[in-house]
Amino acid sequence: MLVFSQKEEALLRELFDTLLPEVEQEEAHTSEYWRRKGTDWITPDDIAEGLAGVSPAQQQDFRQLLKLLSSWTVGVTWNGPLKPFMKLKPEQRVSLLMAWRDHRVNLFRKAFSTLKKLIIFLFYTKPEKQQNPAWPVIGYPGPLPDAEPPPRDRMEVLYGHQIGDSISCDVLVIGSGAGGGVVAAELAQAGHDVLVVEKGPYLDRSDYNQLEAEMGAMMYEAKGALTTDDGGVTIFAGSCLGGGTTINWAGAFHTPDYILNEWAKEHDNPGFTSPDLRTSLDSVAQRLGVNADYPYHNQQNQALLNGSKALGQQPELIPRNEVGLGKEDFKGIGYSTSGDRYGHKQGTVQTYLRDAMKAGARIMPRTYIERVTHQGGQVTGAVGKTMAHDTWKPFTITAKKVVVSAGSIYTPVILRKSGLSHKHLGKHLYFHPTVAVSALYPSVTDPAWFGPMMSVVNNHFTRLDGNYGFKLETPPAHVGLCTLALPWMGGAEHKKAMMDLPRLGHFIVLTRDKHGGSVSVDKFGFPKIQYKLSSYDQNHMVRGIQEGARIQVAGGAEEVIFPYSTDKRFLARHGQEALEALLKELPAWGWKPNQFPLFSAHQMGTARMGGNKALHPVAPNGETREVKGLYVADASLFPAASGVNPMLTIMGLAHYVAQGLK
């Protein structure tokens, strides 16, 4: 973990209090909230812990940022006094940060964005005894009380202290999420000796405490702080037993036929339209209990439903992998992006991993694979490290087959570190780049953190240009996610905006991106993620923001909040003509990295599967071109973005690959 010097700690404290200052207010019932400043709640150690999961290169960048702020040369960056941050007046410090927020050079926009995301997120999410002092004032309930404690129904997993320096198996599966979980069950049930390794921890229902900061640090890649190299995209990816299926918002979409047809035709792989793949997709949907039977929506989903219909667009219910829901479960299911405490969501921990273990598979959490080993073009196993009594211990695995299911960020990293060199490995990284169009409703019965996380989808714009366009859905907008999405216009303004939290409803614009990015390996062995939103994809995204704003107003919102680094709003009372005039200006606002909050919860591509050896690192059966017996079974296989939440597609492809492996 980073250890800051005394000088760095002093600077961080001043940054805390600049972003989150003490504000004089007269309202007695909220005065403590307004008076509380950043240093009253967060510490430099919190920042160090928040950065513990990012690469050493990104940690070095953060220290360089602090070094710049400690130098008189920082004045050059904003045409201010040639003084270090600590010697500026309070109002000058605010001006510096705002200048960086709006800077023409992305390096400074990235610096502001990094500080804002880290500091403000921690201020509003850091708990103490299950509570944060801001929550009662801003109307956020925090964790829900248990009617009764959830049962402990743990699988008997294997830990590093229980084994020696090596272990052997028939099939090693690297990753336990949508891909790895399915492959493990299918092969174990076919009689193979399967070992599943997962670098994240194993948590069960009783461990999911519904605290956004704590669960994010335990269950997400880089403790939830993963971004692209330029800071322009915040990336949410699972890193725990069950992977993405544990944190997924329960959307379980069948892959559209037009996508499968495109993949089959453009990537020389008729398997994508084969009856066998369709059987696999149906099989996993049945195992997960996918259904659209739950009729209750929270207010933002109801607004999407009503607003879409009012504009002549036919919304649809989202099929979800939640079972056994009653009306009494309404509030609780909105928290399962941080793990489902109630046992309704059917991720791989609840389904395929248990199937695998019952069939004899062994599962090792907290186990990190450095590289796959091979000899003479044939896979032989892997080397890595596993946690044994809080210490990482190196060990080796001998295996006849290896299946890499580490996700589209880490699968190409493992394969590159294993010596694979296909020129398309790590390329074609797709994100479904996503922005939130928020709105204030006149009153709220069910805030955005209660109810099904996403229960309604508007597909009206999915094929604006051929197979490319966008969907409109909703997110589970807990307090931390809102801090990432809302702009910072100064400390007092931000505190005021957070007090509107219960009245906020959010639509997300999920864009099917045509032009992807890449993942490479940095000098420390960590992923280096490069992605730039193309003008083609940006046009679709901006159109999505326009349509989302129209639907918010049609759905009853009184004020629309646009996704931008500065405060861009529209009051519905000004009328439709004024709205259309504003929306016409929107493309010209500027949509460069860190000028607006851009997210990805779906990472796809990087080891795409297809029939052309020169273009596809992985053959149509899931086996890598360069090493026999080495397979891939996760979203890395996608030859292009799926256009829908990819969980079911990943699971179907993994099931399909597993049939050949049997």
Average pLDDT value over all residues in the chain: 96
The pLDDT tens digits of the residues spanning 379-402 come to 999 999 999 999 999 999 999 999
Closest CA to 178 of 242, 267, 119: 242
Instruction: Please tell me the total count of domains within the chain.
Output: 2
**CB-CB neighbours of 312 under 10 Å:** 8
pLDDT at residue 296, as a whole number? 87
Q: Are strands 598-600 and 233-235 parallel, antiparallel or unpaired?
A: parallel
597 and 456 inside one domain:
yes
Whether the per-residue pLDDT at 76 is higher than 70: the answer is yes
* Residue 20 DSSP one-character state: S
pLDDT bucket at 26, cuts 50 / 70 / 90: low
Per-residue pLDDT for 68 more than 80?
A: yes
Of 126, 161, 190, which closes a domain?
A: 126
Model confidence at 161, pLDDT cuts 50, 70, 90, reads very high
- 591 and 478 in one domain? yes
- Give the residue-averaged pLDDT of 603-615: 98
Residue 635 in any domain: the answer is: no
Nearest to 271 by CA among 661, 652, 662, 615: 652
Q: Is residue 189 one of the residues assigned to a domain?
A: no
Which amino acid is it at 248? N
Among residues 57, 91, 126, the one where a domain terminates is 126
In degrees, rounded to 5, the angle at the alpha carbon of residue 492 between the alpha carbons of residues 490 and 498 is 100
**233 and 101 share a domain?**
no
pLDDT at 444: 83
Q: Please indicate, yes or no, whether residues 95 and 234 belong to a single structural domain of this protein.
A: no
Q: Is residue 27 part of a domain?
A: yes
Residue 415 identity (one-letter amino acid): L
Query: Residue 478: inside a domain, yes or no?
Result: yes
Is the distance from CB of 487 to CB of 115 less than 8 angstroms? no
Give the end of a domain, one of 558, 587, 604.
Answer: 604
Whose CA is closest to 254, among 225, 276, 285, 275? 285
**Alpha carbon distance 40, 358 (integer Å):** 50
In a domain, 501, yes or no: yes
Residues 456, 100 contacting (CB under 8 angstroms): no
pLDDT of residue 582: 98
> What residue numbers bound the domain in which 113 lies?
6-126
| pLDDT at 295 exceeding the cut of 80 | no
Give tens-digit pLDDT for 438-488: 999 998 889 999 999 999 999 999 999 999 999 999 999 999 999 999 999
Element (H, E) at 32: helix 31-35
Residue 474, phi then psi, degrees to nearest 5: -130, 155
Tell the burial category of 6 from Cβ atoms under 10 Å away from its Cβ (0-12, 13-18, 19+): exposed
pLDDT, tens digit, 9 for 90 and up, residues 171-226? 999 999 999 999 999 999 999 999 999 999 999 999 999 999 999 999 999 999 99
Amino acid 445: pLDDT: 81
Strands 604-605 and 427-430, by their bridges, are antiparallel
- One domain, residues 475 and 599: yes
Q: Where are the alpha helices (DSSP H) in 272-344?
A: 275-287, 299-310
Asked if 597 contacts 477 with a C-beta cutoff of 8 angstroms, the reply is no
Partners of residue 600 on adjacent β-strands: 235
83-133 pLDDT, tens digit per residue, is 999 999 999 999 999 999 999 999 999 999 999 999 999 999 999 999 999
Residues 108 and 233 in one domain: no
Residue 108 falls within a domain, yes or no? Answer: yes
> What is the per-residue DSSP string for 461-492?
TTTSBTTB-EEEE-----HHHHHHHS--S-HH
Q: Are residues 98 and 234 in the same domain?
A: no
Closest CA to 534 of 653, 423, 412, 429: 429
Judge if 233 and 84 occupy the same domain. no
398 located within any domain: no
Residue 31: pLDDT above 90? no
Confidence class of residue 28 from pLDDT cuts 50, 70 and 90? low
What span, in angstroms and rounded, lies between the C-alpha atoms of 78 and 100?
7
Q: Which residue has the tokens 């956004």?
A: 212
Q: Is residue 457 part of a domain?
A: yes
For residue 29, pLDDT beyond 80: no
